[in-house]
Structure 1
Amino acid sequence: MSFRLPSRLLRCTLLGALLVACSPPGSGQDSGAPVQTARTTTGQAPQATRDPQSGLPFVAAQGLPREARRTLTLIRAGGPFPYAKDGSTFGNREGLLPRRARGYYREYTVPTPGEDDRGARRIVCGGQARSVGECYYTGDHYSSFRRILP
């Protein structure tokens, strides 16, 4: 005996999954919306999937590209950095990060394999120069950010 979903239900389910998968980062919520939480099956308290202050999604350091994890290690160590612009002030002109005083954010290059220049990937950290207090990752040259979990 085989089980078949009605074709309309199947189409709607697939369309819904496609819409969710193709939505731009951060389009599901604005910063004023409730914080989303991930479901757990281990009985642990759910962990927020978005930064309540910025509304940006969280990403664990382990979920970043290998090169980004190396850059975080360099930031923690205070360098040396492979690019002259690493540690320079990030102006947040896009306004995607929480508003802070000028000079609060610093940017660091995340090397992109196969690129001849600095590429599009960066880590932006706030606070003391060359620290990893409040850090964000962008893989698309500041069009979107994810808050890196400490």
Structure 2
Amino acid sequence: MLLRFVSRMLLCLLVLTGCSATDNDPSTGGGLAAVQESKLPAEARQTLELIDRGGPFPYAKDGSVFGNFERLLPAHQRGYYHEYTVPTPGSRDRGARRIVTGQGGE
């Protein structure tokens, strides 16, 4: 539980647009920024709660394998990363905001 809390506070691997509270962290690969959970939009924090509970998720593709084709994250075997939708206010579809989780707790 403490590990989950600490890793959340220190590093949320996101594919989110519009987050300004970032710190560069070379461990995330490719220059992707680390974002403290408290600095995330409310929709992202709600998505993190759903991930903790194991769902139910509002979108059928939530939990699907994130391919990391752009190599934004450190290289791992296929299936290591999974993506979850962060709802975009006003969007009629999933939008582009995602939280990407890794099997290592990041």
**What TM-score do the two structures reach when normalised by structure 1?**
0.52
Q: Which residue of structure 1 lines up, in the alignment, with residue 87 of structure 2?
A: 111
In the alignment, which of 80, 89, 94 is matched to residue 65 of structure 2? 89
Matched, 1:78 2:54: yes
Q: Which residue of structure 2 lines up, in the alignment, with residue 140 of structure 1?
A: none
Unaligned segments of structure 2, at least 5 residues: 1-22
After TM superposition, the structure 1 = structure 2 runs for residues 24-103 of structure 1, keeping only pairs within 5 Å, are 49-53=23-27, 54=29, 55-103=31-79
Unaligned segments of structure 1, at least 5 residues: 1-48, 135-150
| Matched length | 82
SS of residue paired to 2:95: coil
Cα deviation, residue 58, structure 1: 1.7
Per-residue CA deviation, residues 17-63 of structure 1 (Å, 9 max, x unaligned), is xxxxxxxxxxxxxxxxxxxxxxxxxxxxxxxx332322432210111
Q: Which residue of structure 1 lines up, in the alignment, with residue 9 of structure 2?
A: none
**Which segments of structure 1 move beyond 2 Å, counting only runs of 4 or more?**
49-52, 54-57
Q: Which has the higher contact order (CA 8 A, sep 6+)?
A: 2
The alignment-based identity, stated in percent, is 67
AA of the residue aligned to 1:50: N
Structure richer in helix, relative to its length:
2
Cα deviation, residue 75, structure 1: 0.3
Name the Cα RMSD after superposition.
1.3
**What TM-score do the two structures reach when normalised by structure 2?**
0.72
Per-residue CA deviation, residues 61-84 of structure 1 (Å, 9 max, x unaligned), is 111110000000000111110000
Q: Which residue of structure 1 lines up, in the alignment, with residue 99 of structure 2?
A: 123
Structure number with greater Rg is 1
